[in-house]
Amino acid sequence: MHVIDLRSDTVTQPTRAMRAAMLEARVGDDVYGEDPTVNALQERLAAELGFDAGLFVPTGTQSNLLALLAHCERGDEYLVGMEAHTYKYEGGGAAVLGSIQPQPIVQATDGSLPLDSIAAAIKPVDPHFARTRLLALENTWHGRALPLDYLRSAHALARAHGLGMHLDGARLFNAALACQVPPREIARHFDTVSVCLSKGLGAPVGSVLVGSRALIDKARRWRKVCGGGWRQAGLLAAAALHALDHHVARLAEDHARAAMLAERLRGIGGIDLLGQHTNMVFIDVPAERLQALDAHLRTAGIRASIGYLPTLRLVTHLDIDDDGIERTAAAFARFFARD
Ligand SMILES: *Cc1c(COP(=O)(O)O)cnc(C)c1O
């Protein structure tokens, strides 16, 4: 049975055309800076997002870590959302490996860090305190795109206090689509931006960190320190370039299918539809039925993210078609019809 895997947009299989692009890739030793395909990917994303330089890395986690290490030094701190990936889901890397203190900030329901909370968290220059150096935002956050005027205000506030700005833009292209602007209109508010190729864009592996030449040079050094200098990585960069050529515009299909799924689930008694944003649908079901629901879905060949977040998350992507949405909605309807 074909499994409909809605746990995350990370689960996509490389398409046949993507594999062909990988097979054809020209490669070289990237530690020497000689992999033409890696260089093309880095230059392309940097140019598209309005920066001098880019750095191709294996994961979004490493990309964010390298950004934090490039912006901050030992004893510095970064302001970050309490529920942000960069704070909560990256093993505390900045603190563990960089002696950089996170200052988590309780987020508003739309994922933004309230400006007054940011202002209140910025520490005076005083030996008692860590040195506040950086504001780190995430976009999309749980599928939500941060409003553009919020980004403008956050940028102005950060600059007024001499802070750098980093964006965890794992799903930057989804955010840009939701805001109907080119991605650089979001990226322009930041000094560094991390973009995942392995989420909705459908590459098997990889993220790119973009920024000024100076910041990316620092990040490159830290990547080596973290054991992340790689060699003929052009095989992977070729998949990423293929994704940028062929899988950006189609993100609109993922958003439309998520909306379609939300619409179908809305009408089912027992399901509380919490929201649908870009390619994600969040629902609540009675806690005592979660395990049975999980088992029911697995039997129907459907995987959902159950138990990882407080709510149930369904994510659309490259490998989910209209039929997958229909089958999923039908399986939910059957389960809740059993009462
Ligand atoms: C997936 C993700 C990351 C990290 O990416 P990995 O490649 O899994 O390390 C960072 N931030 C956000 C918001 C993500 O969704």
CB atoms within 10 A of CB 254: 22
Q: What is the pLDDT of residue 339?
A: 60
Question: What average pLDDT values come out for the chain (339 residues) when binned by 10 residues?
Answer: 94 98 98 98 98 98 98 98 96 97 97 98 97 98 97 98 98 98 98 98 98 98 96 98 98 98 95 96 92 94 82 95 97 89
**Single-letter amino acid code for the residue at 92:** G
Contact between 170 and 144 under an 8 Å Cβ cutoff? The reply is: no
C-alpha 63 to ligand 1 mean position (Å): 9
Strands 164-169 and 192-196: parallel
Output the residue whose Cα is nearest ligand 1's atom 3.
60
Q: What's the pTM? A: 0.97
CB atoms within 10 A of CB 33: 11
Q: What is the pLDDT of residue 275?
A: 95
Residues with CB under 6 Å of ligand 1 are: 59-61, 64, 85, 138, 168, 170, 196, 198, 207
Whole-angstrom distance, CA of residue 216 vs CA of residue 316:
32
Contact between 290 and 307 under an 8 Å Cβ cutoff? The reply is: yes
CA nearest neighbour of 57 among 168, 220, 173, 241: 220
**Is the torsion defined by CA of 72, 168, 102, 306 positive or negative?**
negative
Output the residue whose Cα is nearest ligand 1's atom 4.
60
> Ligand 1, closest atom to CA 207?
7
- Helical H runs in the chain? 16-24, 36-49, 60-71, 85-88, 93-98, 115-121, 148-160, 172-179, 183-187, 213-225, 234-246, 251-266, 290-299, 322-336
C-alpha 85 to ligand 1 mean position (Å): 7
Q: Mapping DSSP to helix (H, G, I), strand (E, B) and coil, where does residue 136 land? A: strand
Q: What is the pLDDT of residue 99?
A: 98
Contact between 139 and 172 under an 8 Å Cβ cutoff? The reply is: yes
Q: What is the pLDDT of residue 205?
A: 97
C-alpha 214 to ligand 1 mean position (Å): 24
